[in-house]
């Protein structure tokens, strides 16, 4: 049923790496942000940010992890709109490739990209989180992939509504980045005005922040089942919406 999925995925990975600017922008920028923020934190606190000392220690890794996810989603929005405008989606559809195969390949590429960037970030961040401090890397990676997956479904909805490839990046950024403001990362959700609190409730980033912060601080998955459930539900909701409104040409 998913004939051609792996081949298409592999080709898309190679194509992505052949575009130096895109690859650097998506991978290097979040890592740089992380290093800069890590340095500032180190200067301010005079010591490496201790991971186990409460929520504040998780802020930077969670923020950067989500930046990684969002930049992956933006890259997806851009690629899909370029492919649509160039007739590439249409050309691929006029083969035995199923539409869901084409989109799945892109989701897989973006998840792999997210995981790779996260690995780079953790590698670069070793000096701010010295060995000995227990950080659940593996669970954190899984949590980020679940979050990315959910945000990607919002990306497909955005990719459906952008009129041309030229607007993909700005429209995507305008929709995605403000989600950080209501996600609870900077201001506690209970301190938000009621309207924004309602918005926060349907934004996957909110649950992603809660999930990632908890996992970073050593919570078990059992505590965060509701976050995972909501992220999955939001994924299903936005996928259903994009299935309705998605344009192939």
Partner 1 sequence: MHPVIEVSGVRKTYGKTVAVEEASFEVNQGEIFGLIGPNGAGKTTTMECIEGIRKPDRGTIAVLGLDPFRQVYKLQDRIGVQLQQAQLQKRIKVWEAVDLWASLYGKNVIDGKRLLEQLGLTEKRGSWFMNLSGGQKQRLFIALALINDPEVVFLDELTTGLDPQARHAIWDLVRGIRERGKTVFLTTHLMEEAERLCDRVAVMEHGRIIDIDTPDGLVRRHCPERTVVLVADDPAAGEHFKAIPEAESVSCVNARFTIRGRGDDLITAVIRCLSENRIRVTDFRTILPNLEDVFLKLTGHSIRE
Q: Which is nearer to partner 1, 20 or 194 (CB)?
A: 20
Q: Residue 228 class from Cβ within 10 Å (0-12 exposed, 13-18 middle, 19+ buried)?
A: middle
Minimum CB separation of residue 48 from partner 1 in Å reads 41
Minimum CB separation of residue 203 from partner 1 in Å reads 32
Greatest alpha-carbon pair distance for the chain in Å reads 60
Minimum CB separation of residue 149 from partner 1 in Å reads 23
Q: Which is nearer to partner 1, 51 or 168 (CB)?
A: 168
* DSSP single-letter state for residue 95: S
Q: Which is nearer to partner 1, 43 or 94 (CB)?
A: 94
Neighbours of 32 (CB within 10 A): 13
Minimum CB separation of residue 16 from partner 1 in Å reads 9
Q: Which is nearer to partner 1, 87 or 163 (CB)?
A: 87
DSSP string, 138-203: HHHHHHHHHHHHHHHHHHHHHHHH-SSHHHHHHHHHHHHTHHHHHTTSSS-GGGS-HHHHHHHHH-
**Cα-atom radius of gyration of the chain, to the nearest Å?**
18
Q: Which is nearer to partner 1, 93 or 201 (CB)?
A: 93
Minimum CB separation of residue 240 from partner 1 in Å reads 22
Q: Which is nearer to partner 1, 110 or 210 (CB)?
A: 110
Residue found under tokens 């050593």: 218
Distances in Å between the Cα of 245 and the Cα atoms of 15, 62, 241 are 27, 32, 6
Q: Which of 52, 40, 110, 59 is closest to 80 using CA atoms?
A: 110
Residue found under tokens 């497909």: 156
Interface with partner 1 (CB under 8 A) = 3-4, 7-8, 11-12, 14-15, 18-19, 83, 86-88, 90-91, 93-98
Minimum CB separation of residue 246 from partner 1 in Å reads 15
């Amino acid at each position: 049923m998913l004939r051609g999925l792996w081949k298409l995925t592999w080709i898309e990975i190679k194509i992505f790496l052949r575009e130096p600017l895109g690859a650097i922008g998506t991978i290097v920028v979040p890592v740089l942000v992380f290093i800069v923020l890590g340095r500032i934190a180190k200067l301010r606190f005079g010591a490496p940010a201790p991971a186990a000392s409460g929520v504040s220690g998780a802020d930077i890794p969670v923020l950067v992890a989500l930046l990684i996810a969002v930049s992956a989603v933006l890259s997806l929005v851009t690629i899909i709109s370029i492919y649509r405008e160039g007739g590439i989606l249409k050309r691929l559809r006029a083969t035995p490739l199923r539409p869901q195969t084409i989109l799945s390949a892109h989701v897989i590429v973006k998840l792999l990209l997210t995981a790779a960037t996260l690995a780079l970030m953790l590698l670069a961040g070793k000096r701010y989180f010295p060995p000995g401090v227990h950080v659940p890397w593996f669970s954190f990676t899984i949590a980020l992939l679940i979050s990315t997956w959910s945000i990607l479904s919002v990306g497909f909805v955005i990719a459906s509504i952008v009129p041309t490839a030229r607007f993909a990046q700005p429209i995507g950024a305008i929709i995605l980045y403000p989600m950080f403001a209501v996600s609870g990362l900077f201001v506690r959700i209970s301190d938000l005005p009621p309207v924004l609190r309602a918005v926060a409730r349907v934004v996957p980033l909110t649950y992603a922040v809660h999930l990632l912060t908890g996992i970073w601080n050593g919570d078990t998955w059992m505590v965060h089942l509701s976050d995972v459930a909501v992220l999955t539900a939001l994924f299903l909701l936005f996928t259903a919406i994009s299935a309705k409104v998605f344009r192939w040409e």
